[in-house]
Amino acid sequence: VDPEEFRKQGHMIIDFLADYYTKVSNFPVRSQVEPNYLRKHLPDSAPLVPEPIESILEDVQEHIIPGITHWMSPNYYAYFPSSGSVAGFMGEMLSSGFNVVGFNWISSPAATELETIVMDWLGEVLKLPQQFLYKSSNNNGGGVLLGTTCEAVLCTLVAARDKKLSQIGRDNIGKLVVYGSDQTHSSFGKAAQIAGIQNVRAIKTKRSNSFALKADSLLSTIHSDVKNGLIPIYLCATVGTTATTSIDPLMELCDVAKEYEIWVHVDAAYAGSACICPEFRSCIDGIEGANSFSFNAHKWFLTNLACCCLWVKDHNALTKSLSTNPEFLRNKASESKQVIDYKDWQITLSRKFNALKLWLVLRSYGVENLRNFLRSHVNMAMTFEGLVKLDKRFEIVVPRKFSLVCFRVSPSTIARSNYYYYYHDNNNNKNNYDDNYHNGHGYGKLVNDDYLVNELNRKLLESINNSGKVYMTHGEVEGAFMIRFAIGATLTEEHHVIMAWKLIQEHADSLLLGSS
């Protein structure tokens, strides 16, 4: 690394990104390129001789940016947004600059110790019970920074699996059963598959219960599994589900789990951030009964990707499953048992110095500003929800809890519109709904009212996203296709939200009138 070259190129990249942030709202939010677009623009093989940074940046501008979906755009409302920030980026830069590989304490003591301290700070801000904090749990609990929630679920699941198998014998792995709801994130099923657990229950939730997992449904599922000779080991409860941000009742679920010695993991990937605000802390009431808790700081906590915060009450359960001890890593500090070697709390050996960015975020903004940032998004979501409610053509599908609004054009609007009488088949031919549907010619497809409602909402979403002006994604609950308006991008302000709503109305106008 030549320091002067680093300085020169570093300044160029920062200038490039600062310009990008200035212009980001001008780009189509969802990339509009076609599959395989990039191969046409790049050479077939890697260069044999060095190329100047200037021409590389030109290519980034010309060929890479068109293929980027702009998660940093203020008009980004898809999935759950990712809120990068100056502090998050600066922390990431420091970490990349030092380029330490802090797998154990001796490989970079500051990386390990800062992580432990920052996770205790953040655990306190969240008012997690003392058992989750390293400093006040006789060093049994503590937090660790992983890449993603998928890793948090997998690590805690294998800890729970091995704890049980050490009692009943590894041959009994086929009897283990794990629980979530039909709203639990798909990472749970994937983790179970990787962990070799075949019995995965996705317990049904209902709209009448806001799609939360009911304790009595959990209990009856456990009863029937136990009756059939299965052994319950793990529950993945969610605070802020992906589709609708529903909240599983931790207190009741933990009570049930306790009876059966089930490990409870709380996945608060998105909504965990909001729990630093006193008004949202009750969403994790009952957390004292859980074994582990995780949230993604890279979702809604101004921390650049990737940064998943996981706390456990008993890190020995993790290390029993995940530790390795090859000769080349042996050192006095590890053998003294006075230090944490985070490699033993996670899947991989090598790990980034991620604590730096979380430390910078906490210090640069302070907890009060972080709370205000979250509240500003919740307020914008309330504004948006109010606008949806004022337009009688639309309906809110699930009541809003945080900064996600789930809405759709309502079935009654569609019944009154031209759209109800005409639909387009797979070849985009206009068909008379009455002639074809009521006479029983559905073009081989089951065409019914729900299908039409879903199709119209799907088309509405697609036409808005094709405009490039905003980007939203969808969800489905009880067969109803809904549009998810997820506020969380760092640059979003109220006027962006109002503009987005006008755009949605315009597209709905032309779709509802122009369907004939």
Q: Would you tell me which residues interact with ligand PLP (CB under 6 A)?
A: 80, 148-150, 185, 187, 238, 240-242, 267, 269-270, 296, 308
CB of 386 to ligand PLP, least distance (A): 25
Complex with ligand PLP: residue 87 or 305, whichever CB lies closer: 305
Residue 141 class from Cβ within 10 Å (0-12 exposed, 13-18 middle, 19+ buried)?
A: buried
Complex with ligand PLP: residue 177 or 310, whichever CB lies closer: 310
Complex with ligand PLP: residue 186 or 336, whichever CB lies closer: 186
What's the first-to-final CA gap in the chain, in angstroms? 64
Complex with ligand PLP: residue 91 or 488, whichever CB lies closer: 488
Among 318, 330, 357, 344, smallest CA distance to 114 is for: 357
Among 402, 162, 372, 460, smallest CA distance to 280 is for: 402
Complex with ligand PLP: residue 30 or 185, whichever CB lies closer: 185
Ranges of beta strands (E only) in 356-503 are 394-398, 404-409, 422-424, 430-432, 471-477, 480-486
CB of 213 to ligand PLP, least distance (A): 13
CB of 486 to ligand PLP, least distance (A): 10
Complex with ligand PLP: residue 405 or 511, whichever CB lies closer: 405
- Minimal CB distance to ligand PLP: which residue? 148
404-409 and 480-486 strand pairing: antiparallel
Among 225, 250, 234, smallest CA distance to 197 is for: 234
CB of 79 to ligand PLP, least distance (A): 6
CB of 139 to ligand PLP, least distance (A): 27
Query: Count of residues for the chain?
Result: 516
For 484, the 3-state DSSP assignment is strand
CB of 144 to ligand PLP, least distance (A): 14
Distances from the Cα of 210 to the Cα of 150, 241, 244, 248, angstroms: 24, 11, 9, 9
Is residue 270 within 8 Å of 402, Cβ to Cβ? yes
Complex with ligand PLP: residue 185 or 351, whichever CB lies closer: 185
CB of 265 to ligand PLP, least distance (A): 11
Residue 126 tokens read as: 């969240």
CB of 29 to ligand PLP, least distance (A): 18
471-477 and 76-77 strand pairing: parallel
Rounded CA-CA distance 416/226 in Å is 51
Complex with ligand PLP: residue 339 or 358, whichever CB lies closer: 358
CB of 80 to ligand PLP, least distance (A): 5
Rounded CA-CA distance 409/481 in Å is 10
Cα 239–Cα 245–Cα 249 angle in degrees, nearest 5: 40
Complex with ligand PLP: residue 296 or 515, whichever CB lies closer: 296
